[in-house]
Structures are given as structure tokens and as C-alpha cells.
A and B are shown apart, each in its own frame.
Chain A
Amino acid sequence: MNSHATVMNNQQVPAVGQPYTRNDAACHDLSIRVRDLNLWYGKNQALMNLNIDLFQKNVTALIGPSGCGKSTFLRCLNRMNDLIPSVRTEGLVEIDGRDVNSAKMDEVALRRRVGMVFQKPNPFPKSIFENVAYAPRMHDLVSRKTEQEELVEKALRDAGLWNEVKDKLHEPGTSLSGGQQQRLCIARAIAVQPDVILMDEPTSALDPISTATIEDLMDKLKEKFTIVTVTHNMQQAARVADYTAFFHLGEIIEYNDTKVMFSTPAQKKTEDYISGRYG
């Protein structure tokens, strides 16, 4: 397969290093551009020559069988892989015209603009208020108490959690139910007003009702944020994602509009996977 075949062709992609410009109305602005991305865990290559463009204010779902590299790829986007000593990355990941892997890019600045929600809800063992207020205060987005309160309320409202927790903001975040904790983590991520939110199987530890709540939330959040989500659940991808990328053994097999992908997959492997023949 041609390494550029997976890039969607209906885009006028600006040259590498150039800022994104609005294309024709039918298309969305680019948010993240990935070119020839390779990644190794020690000697094992986990990502093979990935090329993909992710679009602003859309939900992109990454699907594929276990071990296909979708979570690894997600962590490349905010350099969480840096935390694993044996990981080596090559290639270009460009966000807002900047190479995130360049020496000039500070990973703290990157993560300020690319937030993350994890598989298992992991609120800080602090109060609900502190969970949301901590990061904005750390990044000097707010200082006064009233500003903090406003921001916490806004983030919790955006995460659809405000009504449930407004009377107990000073109870520990860990006292909430699993689904509420995950929404608290989303509130925490959006409180610093990032551009992109990465979600690593955000509903896999949750019950169906909490899952539905979070899926609705993703639908609302994409008005403001670019969302990239990893999911094991193909129905979920079909429900929430505008675009879907199918990963297999470290390669992107197919990347397309979700509706197109699920109705008329171009590749045999994709068809086999989404029809449940393996994975």
C-alpha cells in the first residue's frame, strides 16, 4: 500500500510547516497532520509509517483489534509515550503547524493544548473543585478565587456534571461514581481550554448508561474541541465519530468518513473487522 494512500484526498493540505488555512466549505480545517510516523518499543516496531490528517472540531475514532497500535498512536499526539523509556519515535506529528517532536516543543506546552482522558477514570485524590481548578491555576489561566469558581462551574457544566455535584464541590473526586468520575476527568481536561482532547477508551470501564452520557457529551464537545478517541466498540465509533481510522498491526488500513467506512469499506481487512470476523 502506498504510504500516502490513507490520507484523505479531498483536502488541500498545506505544505509541511505552513499554518492551516480554511479550505472549501465542505471540508474541515486540519488540526493534526501525521507523516511517516514510526514508533518502536525497544526493538519491536509498533507503528509503521503512519500518515493521517485529523480534522478540527470533529470526532475521529481509532478502531482496531487489541495491540494494533491505536492507543500508542493516540499517546504520540501529546507525547505521553515520552514517559516510557524504551520508546523511540520517528516522523512528523504536526499540530498547529509545529512539529510536536522537535526539540523546541515543550511537552508541557503541548499537553496544555492537547488534553487527555484515560481509560480508567483517574481523578486526583483531591476535592471535585480542586480537580478542575488545579490545572488552570497551574497554567496561570486564573488567579482570583471568583475566576476559579466561574471556570470550575463552566467546565463542570460543559462536562454535564454541574447539576450532580454543585452541592458537594468540596467532597473528594474519588467519591463519585465511575461515570461521574470520568466526566470529572473530562471537565478537568477542558478546564484549560485545549484545542484537542484525546480519549483513550473513555467508556470501557463504564456501565451502558454512563457510556451513553459520555457519548452524548462527546457530540456536544466537538463544537469546541477536536476529539480523537480510541474505542474497542465499533458501534460506539459508528455512533459518535465523524471519521474513523482502522488500525491493524501498527498500520492504518483505512481512514474515511465513518458512514462511508461502515457502509462500504474499501479494504477487505476493514470489512472483516467491522463485520466481526476477527478482533
Chain B
Amino acid sequence: MSNTFDEISQQLKRRHRKSARLKWITMGSLGLAGLFLVLFFADMLTKGLPAFQQAYIQTEISYTEEAATDGRRAFDEELLPLISRTVVRVIPMELRNNPDMIGTSKTQWVLATSGVDQYLKGHRHRLSEEEQAAIDARVEAGQVDLRFNSTFFGSGDSKIAENAGILSAVVGTVMTMIVTLAISFPIGVMTAVYLEEFAPDNRFTQIIEININNLAAIPSILFGLLGLAIFINFFGVPRSSPLAGGMTLALMTLPVIIISTRTALRSVPESIRHAGFGVGCSRWQVVRDHVLPLAMPGIMTGSIIGLAQAMGETAPLIIVGMVAFIPDVGASFTNAATVMPAQIFTWSGEPEQAFVEKTAGGILVLLTILISLNAFAVVLRKKFERRW
């Protein structure tokens, strides 16, 4: 017996309602995820952007005889508590290097203490009433100002908040990533090429394949332990060095590169291989001349994403000692160094208020680099995407 249109549409109405409800739920979850992202970014930006500015004070520096032994004598007594110790303590050395300057004086913008900085930014601070009044007066006179924080981008870590910068961590990250890429890219790509193009399909290769897939899911801190046990304790690689960290992260990145390379190789159509074999290419020539060039964009994308993942990694580096206090930019791959996430981790543990914005500022720098790397990977994929 067939139903009338009325009965059918009655039943359909319920079905349509159900699907509409489901659609709203899915859109709601997307919205929620988006909201968290927006909140996260807004929080980071409001907390982190102030870190890119720093309070400076315009003051007269008088290079007197006394200042050559005690830097404090070069400054106005009233201002002294507001001026960063880092400015004061270099005065005697400056005079020792340039004795001609003794007796002269000059007016200059110098770094203020983090207290002044936090006061100007409206954060919690420990300035006395008189100090606040002195600052307010000088702000009026245009002698105290927030300026671009070149220290943050230009120097390494410091226990003095206003002197702490991210440069040594950035350089440490770059050196660590160079080691990671130099080890994991060739080994990973070659492994994938072997497994995908040369290896017979037997129990042995299946076990290898399963293990590689499992490696990608292993908690990263275990790679840190492995790095500590093998690279540092057994091979004697210097602790805390970009070499040790990079080798450890290379272990972690390898499975990502292997898996993405295999996917890229598998997406090269079989007909291209047949064409190569058909004209008498050896297996290696087929791979080198025809398969790898086509798979390269996919391989690059996977490697960049693997690298970005490694760049954001902290746990394994804690174990190999890369969460260290590094005031100077690293000179070589075997010197102690730190990396950006480790630097952020260190700052987040500092009790001083001024380090809160340093932490957020560091996160902004790290995020910017990671997002640019991922965007680069997307561009690369789009640019070299081929149809055949």
C-alpha cells in the first residue's frame, strides 16, 4: 500500500528537523573550537604585545672620576633606583675602555627598571609613592617613555627582567633544527624510499612498518630519555648542546618524515613507474628521475610539519639539559644552548611580574615562526601540486 504525499511529508518533516538539529550541533562545536582559538590568541596578544615595548628614561650621564669606580655616581641620585642595573654596571668598564670620556657628560635614553616598565603598562609593580610621582612628572616632561624593546629581540636570557631577551633561544632553536633536519630528512626519506619502492612485502618489513607507525605515537619525553642514555651517556655528546637536542628531536621527527614520505610516494601513480620501467630504467632511476620529483612537494610538506612539531617540543629537551640559563648567544653546536619553548618554560617559572609578559611575548614569537612554517608548507604544496 502506498502512502499519500501528506503522510510522506509528515514523516519527512521529522527527518528534516533531525538533520537540521544535527547541523546546528556540528556548527556549534566548530564555533566553540573557534572561540577557544580566538580567546587564546586574544589573551596571548594582550599579554604578549606589551613585551615588545620597554620603558626608557632620558637622563644625563656624567662621567666623573668617581663613576669610573662606582657606576652609580654617574646618575642623578633621585633617578638611580629607577634605572636598570644593567645600565649602571657597565659605566666603569665603558670609562676604562675610553679614558678620554672622563669629565664629559651626555643626555641619553637608558633602560628603566622593570618596575617602571610595569608601572607604565599598568601592571602590578613595587614602586613607592615618591617613585611613582617622579615617574609621572617625567612622563609629563617626555623624559620617560615606552619604546621598541630591542633588548628582547637582541639579547639572551637574564635574571634582570628588563634585560632578558629571546635571541639566544632563537639561535638555539635554529641550530637545533639544523641538526634535526640534517639527520632526520635524509635518513627518513631514504628509509621511506626503501620501504615503499624496494623492500619486499614480508613479515620483517611489516614489523618495521608497524613499529614506525607506533614510534610516531610514543610520548616525546621517552625520546628524551633515549637521547640522554645513548647520545649523552654512551656517545658522550655534550649535554645541553644543540647537537644533543637536535639528535634527540631527530629521533622524534624521523617517524613523521618516514610516514609522510611514504604517503607522498604512494600517491605517485603506478603508471609513471611503469613508464619508467618500460623505457628500461633501473629501479633507482625510476625513483630518482620520476617518483621522487613528483613526491617532493609532499615530502617537503611533511618534513616542515615534522620540523614545526619538533620546534615546539620541550619535554625531551628538558631531559637532555636544554632548559638552561643561557645569557649568551650560542657559539657552536656543542656549546650549551636553550630553545624557544624551553625559554618560555623557564620564564613562566620566574616569580617576577615582568616575566609574565616575557613569557607571553616568547609564545608570540614561537607561534609566529610556527604559523609561518606551516603556511610555507601549504604554499609549497599548492605551488607544486601536479595533476596527471
B272 touching A108, Cβ below 8 Å: no
- Contact in complex: A189, B278 (CB < 8 Å): yes
Whether, in the assembled complex, A78 has its beta carbon less than 8 Å from a beta carbon of chain B, the answer is yes
Bound-state Cα–Cα, A144 to B246, Å: 45
Q: What residues of A have a CB within 8 angstroms of the CB of B387 in the complex?
A: 174
Q: With A85-B201, A122-B271, A134-B289 known to touch, is A108 a contact of B278 (CB < 8 Å)?
A: no
B280 interface residue per 8 A CB criterion: yes
A106 to nearest B CB, angstroms? 9
Q: Are B279 and A111 in contact (CB under 8 A)?
A: yes
Given A138-B285, A174-B388: A120 and B279 interface contact (C-beta under 8 Å): no
Chain B binding surface SS class: helix
A118 to B281, CA, bound (A): 16
A250 to B365, CA, bound (A): 67
Within 8 A of B (CB), among A71-119: 78, 80, 83, 85, 108-112, 115-118
CB within 8 Å of A: which B275-294 residues:
275-282, 285, 289-290, 294
Does B106 sit within 8 A of A, measured CB to CB?
no
Contact A189 B388 (CB under 8 A): no
Residue A124 at the chain B interface, CB threshold 8 Å: yes
The answer on a CB contact under 8 Å between B200 and A111 is no
Which chain A residues border B96 with CB–CB below 8 Å? none
CB distance from B284 to the nearest CB of A (A): 11
Task: Tell me which of B269, B272, B273, B277 contacts A111 (CB under 8 A).
Answer: B277
Inter-subunit contact A80/B274 (CB<8 Å) = yes
Tell me which residues across on chain B come within 8 A of A138, comparing CB atoms.
Answer: 279-281, 285, 289
Is A185's CB under 8 angstroms from B280's CB? no
Q: Which residues of B contact A13 (CB under 8 A)?
A: none
Interface residues of A in 109-162 (CB under 8 A from B): 109-112, 115-118, 120, 122-125, 134-135, 138-139
Expressed in whole angstroms, the minimum distance between the Cβ of A175 and any Cβ of chain B is 11
Q: Is A30 an interface residue (CB 8 A)?
A: no
In the bound complex, what is the Cα–Cα distance between A139 and B280 (angstroms)? 8
CB within 8 A of A124: which of B200, B201, B272, B280? Answer: B272
A124 x B275 contact (CB < 8 A): yes
User: Per a CB cutoff under 8 Å, which of B277, B289, B386 touches A80?
Assistant: B277
Whether A125 and B388, one on each chain, are in contact in the complex, defined by CB atoms closer than 8 angstroms, is yes
A204 to chain B, nearest CB (A): 14
B388 contacts A115, CB within 8 Å?
no
| Cβ contacts under 8 Å, A115 to chain B | 278-279
Flag whether A54 is at the interface (Cβ < 8 A): no
B295 smallest CB distance to A (angstroms): 12
Give the residues in chain B near A134, CB-CB below 8 Å.
279, 289
Give the Cβ gap from A109 to chain B, nearest Cβ, in Å: 8
Contact at A122–B200, with CB atoms within 8 Å? no
| Size band of the interface chain B makes with A | 20 to 34
- Which of the listed residues B269, B273, B278, B282 has the most CB atoms from chain A within 10 Å of its own CB? B278
**In the complex, how many angstroms separate the beta carbon of B4 from the nearest chain A beta carbon?**
49
Which residues from B are CB-within-8-Å of A185?
A: 275
Question: A118 to B274, Cβ gap below 8 A?
Answer: yes
A164 to chain B, nearest CB (A): 20
A183 contacts the other chain (CB 8 A): no
For chain A, the bracket of interface size reads: 20 to 34
Contact with A along B181-224 (1 / 0, CB 8 A): 00000000000000000001100000000000000000000000
Are B277 and A83 interface neighbours, CB within 8 A? Answer: yes
A39 at the A/B interface (Cβ < 8 Å)? no
Are B275 and A123 in contact (CB-based, < 8 A)? Answer: yes
Measured in the bound complex, the distance between the Cα atoms of B277 and A115 in whole Å is: 9
A188 located at the interface, meaning its Cβ lies under 8 Å from any Cβ of chain B in the complex: yes
Which of B280, B289, B386, B388 touches A108 (beta carbons < 8 Å)? B280
Q: Is B281 a contact of A108 with CB atoms below 8 Å?
A: yes
Tell me the complex Cα distance, A80–B281, Å: 12
Contact A125 B272 (CB under 8 A): yes
Chain B 242-270 against A: per-residue CB contact (8 Å), 1 yes, 0 no?
Answer: 00000000000000000000000000010
Query: A135 to chain B: which residues have CB within 8 Å?
Result: 279-281
Contact residues of B between 3 and 38, Cβ < 8 Å to A: none
A221 lies within 8 A of chain B by Cβ: no
Q: Inside 8 A of A111's CB, which chain B residues have their CB?
A: 277-280
Give CA–CA (A243, B36) in the complex, Å. 73
A120 touches B271 (CB 8 A): yes
A108: chain B residues within 8 A (beta carbon): 280-282
Nearest A residue (CB) for B386: A125
A192 within 8 Å of B (CB atoms): yes
Taken together as a complex, chains A and B put the C-alpha atoms of A143 and B274 apart, in Å, by: 25
Enumerate chain B residues within 8 angstroms of A110, measured Cβ to Cβ: 280
Bound: A258/B386 CA distance, A: 43
CA distance A105 to B84 in the complex (A): 81
Provided the pairs A111-B280, A135-B279, A192-B280 are in contact, do residues A118 and B271 lie with their beta carbons within 8 angstroms? yes
User: Can you name the residue of chain B whose Cβ is closest to the Cβ of A194?
Assistant: B280
Contacts of B386 in A (CB 8 A): 125
Q: Is the CB of B275 within 8 A of A122?
A: yes
Q: Which of A125, A139, A192 has the most CB of B within 10 A?
A: A125
CA distance A122 to B271 in the complex (A): 6
Bound-state Cα–Cα, A116 to B273, Å: 13
Cα A190 to Cα B200 in complex, Å, equals 32
Residues of B within 8 A of A124 (CB): 272, 275-276, 290
- Pairs across A and B, CB under 8 Å, 26 listed: A80-B277, A80-B278, A83-B277, A108-B280, A108-B281, A110-B280, A111-B278, A111-B280, A112-B280, A117-B278, A118-B271, A120-B271, A122-B272, A122-B274, A123-B275, A124-B272, A124-B290, A125-B294, A135-B279, A135-B281, A139-B280, A174-B387, A188-B279, A189-B278, A192-B279, A192-B280
With A108-B281, A118-B275, A138-B279 known, 6 other A-B pairs at CB within 8 A are A80-B278, A108-B280, A112-B280, A134-B289, A138-B289, A139-B280
Closest 6 interchain pairs by CB? A135-B279, A122-B271, A116-B278, A111-B280, A112-B280, A122-B275
